[in-house]
Structures are given as C-alpha cells and as structure tokens.
Structure 1
Amino acid sequence: MLLKKAVSTLLLSAACVSLAQAQVTVGVITSAAGPLAMIGVPQKNTVALLPTQVGDQAIRYIALDDGSDPTATVKALKKLISEDNVDAIIGPSGSPNAIGVISFVAQAQVPLLSPVGTAAVILPMTAEKKWVFKTTQNDELIAKALFEHMARHQVKTLGLIGTADPYGENWAKVATALATEHGIKIVANERFQRQDTSITGQSLKVLAARPDAVLVAAPGSPAVMPQATLFDQGYRGQVYQTHGAALPDFLKLGGKKVEGTILAASLMLVLDEIPDSNPSKKIAADYTANYEKLYGSKPATFGANTFDAGLLLQAAIPLAAAKAAPGTVEFRRALRDALESTHELAGTQGVYSMTPDDHSGFDERGRELIQVKNGTWTLLRD
C-alpha cells in the first residue's frame, strides 16, 4: 500500500514537472504611465491578444509597468529574470530604456524582443546585441523612402529637429548620410528633450535657415510639438516625420498644424488602401478588429509591434522546445537561435526574415509612404 502511494506520488510529481516544463514564461515591460504612455498603453493592452498556446507549450505572460523610467525598467527586467525565470522578454517601450537593459539580457542569455524605434538596439551588431530582436522597421529603411521622395520633389535643403536621445541621435546619423547621398544639404540640426514644453529657440533657428523641408525625428506625442511650433511661426514648407509619429494622437494633437505631413510607416495606417494580396493585410486587420472589440478604439502601430513579438515567439518556440525544456538556459539559447532563423514570417508591420546580422528583418514590404490629408492618413502615390 505504501509502495503504491509512493509510486502515485512520484507519478504525480513527474506530471507536474512535465506540465511546468511545457509552459513558456514571457515577461512584458511597457510604459503605460509617464511620458511614454501613448506608446506604452497600446503595448500593454496588446498583451491580452498575444498567443497563449503553441503546440504542447502554454505561454504565460508577466506584464510590468516601468512608468517610462529607465531605472525602473532595469529593476523590472532583473525581477523577471531572477524571480520569474522568464524564457523571453518583450519590451520596453522607450529607446533609452531598451538600450539600458541590453547588457543584462545578454548576461542572463534571455532573448529580448524590442518594440522600440531606434536601430541602435541591434546596430552595430555586437555579442550583447545578438540577444535582441527588433519588431519595428530600422531607421534607415524608413529614411530611404523619405529621402527618395525628397529627391523626386527637388528638396535641396533640409532642417532637422530630433529628440536628444538614442532615437533622435540615430536618425541624425542616418539622415546625414542619406542627405549627402541625395545631394541635400542639412542647414539646421536641432535637438530637444521629450519632456520639453517649448522648443521655440530650436524652431527659430530652423526657420532662420529657410529650408525647403523639415524632418522631425521624435517618437510618440513629442513628434507634434516641433511641427506645431514651426506652423505657428509661419513655416509652410513640407514637413516629414518618422514612423515614431504613426499613432492616432499625432492627428488629434496636431490637427490642422500637421496637415500635409509625409511619413513612411506601417501599412496599418492605411489598411483600406492596401491590396488584399499583401501578406500582412489580414493579420493587421484581424489584430485591429480584435483590439477595437476589446478596448473600443483602434490600436496605434506601437501595439502592433508588441503583437508581432508574440507572433515571432509563436513561430520560434516549437523549434526551441524540440531541443530543450522551457525554463532552462538551453531553451533560451535555442529560442534565440530560432528567432534568428525566422524567414518570411508575415506580421502586422511587414514580413520578417532575420539573419545573424539583421535582427529586424524588414524589407520594403514593411513600409508605406503616407500623407496626412483632411485630418487622416492617406496612402501617398507620387
């Protein structure tokens, strides 16, 4: 009798261990409060729409809010790694926050799926950045579309206003190279802090340079202030924005002052104008519909970046699970390798094909030229 009970106990314990091993744990860090909230809220909301099962593996998500504070990001990430033993992490929302945790995920050997704008989280590729995968288009991919448009429309001089952080700095680097390539002279190059309430001084310097066009390089709501300020000061030249401005609140906050803006961004902004043959259209439409059903509003593309992270994990987990059990360093290594081998995976933002040197994986299918027309996003065809 005692032997029978002992055997039953052992079998139950083995079953529990097997069940635990079949569960993949994913940490999610967002900035649902603070200056990055317009980015972080749709990302936090999207957690409820992420896949919860793939093959034999259940996926559990542990979501934490860093309040837009890079120090809190590090604290949250360390908790997920040391206390929750996560197999992967999605987040954080901000570029400085993400750059600040790269060394920690590399040391712990935990894949990080980063939904931030700046390409600096993966470029230049290093041993530490091998653990980071980016679910937004690289700055250069977006910038090429903008500068090609500038060249077609005879833009010869350009003013640049960007955030004084990794996002703005990397855009300045990319823009400078592409401007030289296209024979465009940058006649003003200004920076501002995301939390600034006025940039009158910077905008006056840009205005004084009398550029043919202005490029604003800022993520989220801070993208509005430079353009609105220039408008108030009488500037009526063409304004270009990066994919960091691709959110509904850009239109709401900017109003008539952002009319005519040109940006390159995800097809999600102009889904109704995208042909059904586009491999991302149905995925983006389904995500948008499910989000709207749950929250009563359409998601910003920032939320879709988090959703795509879930799709990437959904495809990679079975490959990793064939080599090791979740919860182990061997599984995390196998998961990193599987993510890096992603090929032709359609997401909401485009099609991902990763390589050891490219941890974003987008090509031209990951961008559309878009213009603000009559207060809404419109596909630009010229």
Structure 2
Amino acid sequence: MLSKKLLTTLVLASSLGCSIAQAEIKIGVVTSATGPIALVGIPQKNTVALLPDSAGGERIRYIPLDDGSDPTATVKAFKKLIDDEHVDAIIGPSGSGNAMGVIQFAAESGTPMLAPVGTAAVVLPMTEQKKWVFKTTQNDDLIAAALVDHMKKTGVKTIGMIGTADPFGENWSKVMKGLTDAAGIKIVANEHFQRQDTSITGQCLKVLMTNPDAVLIAAPGSSSVMPQTTLKDQGYKGQIYQTHGAALDPFLRLGGKAVEGTILAASLMLVLDEVPDSPSKTIAQKYVSDYERMYGNSPATFGGNVYDAGLLLEHAIPTALKSGKPGTAEFRAALRDTLEKTTEMAATQGVYNITPADHSGFDERGRELIIVKDGDWKLVK
C-alpha cells in the first residue's frame, strides 16, 4: 500500500502535470498539401515550422493536417481538431470552398478560425457564425478596385470574365459587377469552370466572341493558368488581368510566354526588391529568408498568409490569457475578441486593422499593382 506521503506526492505531481498540459496552447493547421490545391497548400504546410513557438509565456503546439484538397476531408480534419484535440484556434483550410464548409463547426465550438483563403465570402457579409472567422488575405474588393482603376486609366470599356465555379469565382463576379458598373466598364461575358476541368475551350471561345478589350481571370492557384494559355492559343491579343489567386511563382513557370504582360494586384511579397522600406517589408524579408534557408526555394504569398495567421495569434494570446487558460471556452472567446481588436499590426501581407465589421483588415498598404515582365514579377510603373 502506498504511504500517505508518497500518495500526496503523486497527487501533486499529477496535478502539476495536468496544469502544464492545460497551459499548452494548441493550434490546428489544415492545409491542402496534396490534391488540386497543392500549389497553394504546400507553402502553407511548410510555413508551420516557421510559426512562433510561444506567446505570453506559454508554449504553442501546432497540429498540422492535410485535407488532400477534399472539402469532406476538411470537415473531418476540423472535427478531429475541435472534438479530439480541443485546439484553441485553427489556421486553414487552403481552399475557399473548403473554408466555407467548415465555418459552422468553428462557430458552434467557439473556436477562432484564421482562413488563408481568397474569397471574402468567409467573412462577408458578417454573421453570427462568421464572427469566429478571420481572413489573412486581402478581400476581393480591395484587389479588384486596383484592377478596375487600371482598366479605367488605360481606356478599357469592355471586359470578359472567366472564373472558377466556386465561392472564389462567384464572389469575384459579384464584386466586379459593382465596381465596373461604377467605372462605366461593361462585362460582356462571364464564364465559369471547375478547377478539375482539363479543357475550357468552350468557355474561352464564348468570351472571344464578345471581343472584349480585356479579360479578367478569377481563379486561385494552378487553376489560374489554363484559361490564360487557352485564350492565347485561340489568338486573344487584349490585356489579361488576374486576381491575387495567381500570385505564385508556379504561375510564371506553368504559363510561360502566355502569361507575359499579365497584370494583377497582390501583396508586396512578390516585389520585395522594388517596394520602399516599411515594417511589412522587413517582416516579409525575414519570412522569405527563413523559408529559403529551410526549404531551398522561395515561398508563395499563400505561405505568407499562414505566417501572418501565426503572427496575429502571437499578438493576441498574451491578452487572451488574462481571461482564461488554454483549452477553455473562456480562452477561445477572449482570443476571438482580442483578434477583433487588432490595430496597426504589420505582417507579410500588409497592415492589419481588424474590426467587428472587417475581419480581414487590410487597406491599400496590403496590395501592389504588378505586371509579369520578362518572366518575373515587376511593379507597374
């Protein structure tokens, strides 16, 4: 039989061990490191190793899962992280459609979700469920406004659109309709395709039949390439615009000469050597340098979206700890409330000013107008 002294010691040790376990902050990370969205998901998965490992004096443990670009797998991953791992927050998933399908689970469990996805539909319009979601990419209207402004300045009167048949492409259609109407630019064609499609010749021909002055392609990752190469193969000579969904180096490699002259708006990470010094530039340079040192290549801006999510959490955790311990509903709620009060926080994608109405929080400091020139990204002069 255990002595009273030994029993007391074991109980105390067990209590201390439990306290230590509770103090550990657990962050789930869901990325699409395989499957059709892998060009987006791989740099996001790789970035996990570069995220802050502590905040507010507490250790942070990341639990990365790969959903294979499958929305059903995304749901399973979220439920595992929430129900089995009892995480304090989740970064991810990689895809816009995948993200839309898990908002309810983040909200029902009261778990802050930091979504590194393109579509603004994950945070707009704001609802009771979406108040648990924060978005670490620029909202579509901020990016679109820069493109429409360039169209107007260069005399574009008509445009055709080709976008993915998902929340990303659908929200871009909505945003562009409002902005082009106000600018006196007419959308003469608006075609959609599935990311897994192997040919979109029909959609491109329909756009070409309207003879638009310019074409905007609204598609993320590798899916942004095929519409442009198809249009070029069919002889289109007008200006082609892309969204921030195409802001990755594989777009240049996969598109080759067909993407030369493309104009898009995206974060300063693509053109670090050309932008003036700023806090965001310094942070982005460190991230890029650390990523290159670890992996031997440069990260896509999508990786920066996950890096920024880590910085936002690092910034919010010390304040949230005053309201509750990690692993509790009180801590998660305080984390959400603190994230919503983020003010003038510089990160790789720009400067965050998050409010109850704006869970992305970027202004013009979060975008640059960029052109593909000689197979590389350059600022539009």
The alignment's TM-score, normalised by the length of structure 1, stands at: 0.98
Partner residue of 1:135? Answer: 136
Quick one: distance in 2 between partners of 1:8 and 1:326? 25
Alignment of 1:160-171 (within 5 A): 160-171=161-172
Match for residue 41 of structure 2? 40
Shift of 1:5: 2.5
Trace 1:349-364 onto structure 2 (pairs within 5 A): 349-364=349-364
Paired with 1:69 and 1:11, the residues of 2 have a C-alpha distance of 45
d(CA) in 1 for partners of 2:182 and 2:154? 15
Q: Secondary structure at the match of 2:240?
A: strand
2:162 aligns to what SS in structure 1? strand
Runs of 4 or more, structure 1, over 2 Å off, are 1-11
**What secondary structure does 1:280 align onto?**
helix
1:187 and 2:188 matched: yes
Amino acid at match of 1:204: L
Partners of 2:97 and 2:136 in 1: how far apart?
A: 16
How big is the shift at 1:56?
1.5
Amino acid at match of 1:295: Y
Partner residue of 1:279? 279
Q: Report 1:2-13 matches (<5 A).
A: 2-13=3-14
Q: Distance in 2 between matches of 1:298 and 1:4?
A: 58
Alignment partner, residue 119 of structure 2:
118
Matches within 5 A, 1:224-373: 224-276=225-277, 278-373=278-373
Query: What secondary structure sits across from 2:217 in the alignment?
Result: strand
| Residue 128 of structure 1: how far off its partner (Å) | 0.2
CA drift at 1:13? 2.5
CA contact (8 A) 2:56 2:321 kept: no
Give per-residue Cα distances to partners, 1:93-136, cap 9 Å, x unaligned: 00010000001110000000000000000000000000000000
Distance in 2 between residues matched to 1:14 and 1:314, nearest whole Å: 27
Secondary structure of residue in 1 paired with 2:276: coil
Asked if the contact 1:96/1:165 (under 8 Å) is kept, the reply is yes
The answer to whether the 8 A contact 1:280-1:350 is kept is yes
> Percent of aligned pairs with the same residue?
67
Alignment of 1:79-228 (within 5 A): 79-228=80-229
Distance 2:116 2:254 in 1: 23
Task: Name the stretch that deviates more: 11-20 or 82-91.
Answer: 11-20
Q: Is the 8 A contact 1:91 1:98 kept in 2?
A: yes
Q: How many residues align?
A: 380
**How far off is 1:275 after superposition?**
1.1
Contact 2:192 2:203 in 1 (8 A): yes
Alignment-derived partner of residue 55 in structure 2: 54
Displacement after TM superposition at 1:4 (Å) = 3.1
Instruction: Give the SS at the match of 2:372.
Output: strand
The structural deviation recorded for 1:19 is: 1.3
Q: Amino acid of the residue matched to residue 164 of structure 1?
A: A
State the Cα distance separating 1:17 from its structure 2 match.
2.5
Partner of 1:273, secondary structure, is coil
Aligned equivalents of 2:191, 2:255: Cα separation in 1: 20
CA distance in 2, matches of 1:380, 1:269: 12
The aligned amino acid for 2:336 is: R
1:378 equivalent to 2:378? Answer: yes
Deviations 1:257-312 (A, max 9, x none): 00000000010000000111x22001000100111111110000011100000000
Q: Any conservation in 1 of the 2:99–2:122 contact (CA below 8 Å)?
A: yes
Partners of 1:47 and 1:230 in 2: how far apart? 37
Deviates more, 1:5-14 or 1:372-381: 5-14
Query: Could you say what secondary structure the match of 2:356 adopts?
Result: coil
Match of 2:76 in 1: 75
Q: Write the deviation string for residues 140-167 of structure 1: whole angstroms up to 9, x where unpaired.
A: 0000000001011110000101000000
Q: Which runs of 5+ in 2 are unaligned?
A: none
Separation in 1 of the partners of 2:367 and 2:5? Answer: 63
* AA at the equivalent of 2:95: G
Name the CA distance, whole Å, in 1 between partners of 2:265 and 2:119.
Answer: 15
SS class of match (1:62): strand
Task: Supply the AA of the counterpart residue of 1:379.
Answer: L
SS in 2 for 1:125: coil
Where 1:63 maps in the other structure, the secondary structure is: strand
Instruction: Quote the Cα distance in structure 2 between the aligned partners of 1:176 and 1:188.
Output: 11
Structure 1 regions of 5+ residues with no counterpart? none
Could you tell me the TM-score, scaled by structure 2's length?
0.98
Task: Supply the distance in 2 between the matched residues of 1:21 and 1:346 (Cα, whole angstroms).
Answer: 30
Give yes or no for contact 1:341–1:353 (8 Å, CA) kept in 2.
Answer: yes
1:14, distance to aligned residue in structure 2 (A): 3.0
- The answer to whether the 8 A contact 1:22-1:56 is kept is no
Q: Aligned partners of 2:68 and 2:56: how far apart in 1?
A: 34
Which residue identity lines up with residue 178 of structure 1 in the other structure?
L
Q: In structure 1, the residue corresponding to 2:279 is in which secondary structure?
A: coil
RMSD: 1.0
Question: What is the CA–CA distance in structure 2 between the aligned matches of 1:345 and 1:17, rounded to whole Å?
Answer: 34
Q: Supply the distance in 2 between the matched residues of 1:273 and 1:120 (Cα, whole angstroms).
A: 32
